């Protein structure tokens, strides 16, 4: 397997989330993945799905975690369509700083939006109460 150009650093923010050292607005969790609200959403309802594997980017991802991330992404996407009443959900994933990746723990973005309406990447902080409410609504559908 081709390796990422960057070595995995355990101090990254998503690693801290997985260890419970940093809070997040959790949408879904299982033994291999965690899904939570993006703190600087590019549209209302922007969710990130991460594997519980130390992967910087796609080239590091083990098949069982790749499969688990996509299964979780499907659950999230279906719930986003109901909660945010949008059919269009952008699935995005950046590999390497040259591509614009800013957090070096693999993650899939799921953004209820249209590519022509997408907000700026990782710029504007969301209201925490709104994120908490959105996470609650998504979790209720996924866990129903």
User: Which residues are near ligand 5GP by CB under 6 A?
Assistant: 13, 24, 36-40, 48, 94, 100-103, 122
Measured distance CA(30)–CA(44) in Å, rounded: 24
Confirm if 35 and 72 have CB atoms less than 8 A apart.
Answer: yes
Catalytic residue positions? 107
Cα 129 from chain centroid (whole Å)? 19
* CA–CA separation, 104 and 119 (whole Å): 21
Least Cβ distance, residue 141 to ligand 5GP (angstroms): 20
Determine the Cα–Cα distance for residues 32 and 84; give it in Å rounded to an integer.
26
Q: Which residue lies nearer to ligand 5GP by CB, 132 or 140?
A: 132
Closest contact distance (angstroms) between CB of 31 and ligand 5GP is: 21
Nearer to ligand 5GP, 24 or 79 (CB): 24
Q: How far is the CB of 91 from ligand 5GP (least distance, A)?
A: 12
Q: How far apart are CA 49 and CA 47, in angstroms?
A: 7
20/144 with CB nearer ligand 5GP:
20
């Amino acid at each position: 397997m081709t390796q990422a150009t960057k070595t995995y650093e355990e101090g990254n923010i998503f690693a801290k989330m997985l260890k419970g050292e940093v809070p997040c607005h959790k949408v879904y969790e299982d033994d291999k993945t965690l899904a939570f609200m993006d703190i600087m959403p590019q549209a209302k309802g922007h969710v990130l799905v991460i594997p519980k594997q130390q992967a910087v980017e796609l080239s590091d991802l083990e098949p069982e975690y790749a499969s688990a991330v996509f299964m979780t992404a499907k659950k999230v996407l279906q719930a986003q369509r109901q909660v945010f009443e949008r059919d269009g959900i952008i699935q995005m994933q950046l590999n390497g700083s040259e591509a614009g990746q800013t957090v070096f723990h693999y993650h899939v973005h799921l953004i209820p939006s249209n590519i022509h309406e997408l907000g700026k990447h990782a710029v504007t902080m969301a209201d925490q109460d709104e994120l908490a409410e959105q996470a609650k609504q998504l979790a209720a559908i996924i866990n129903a």
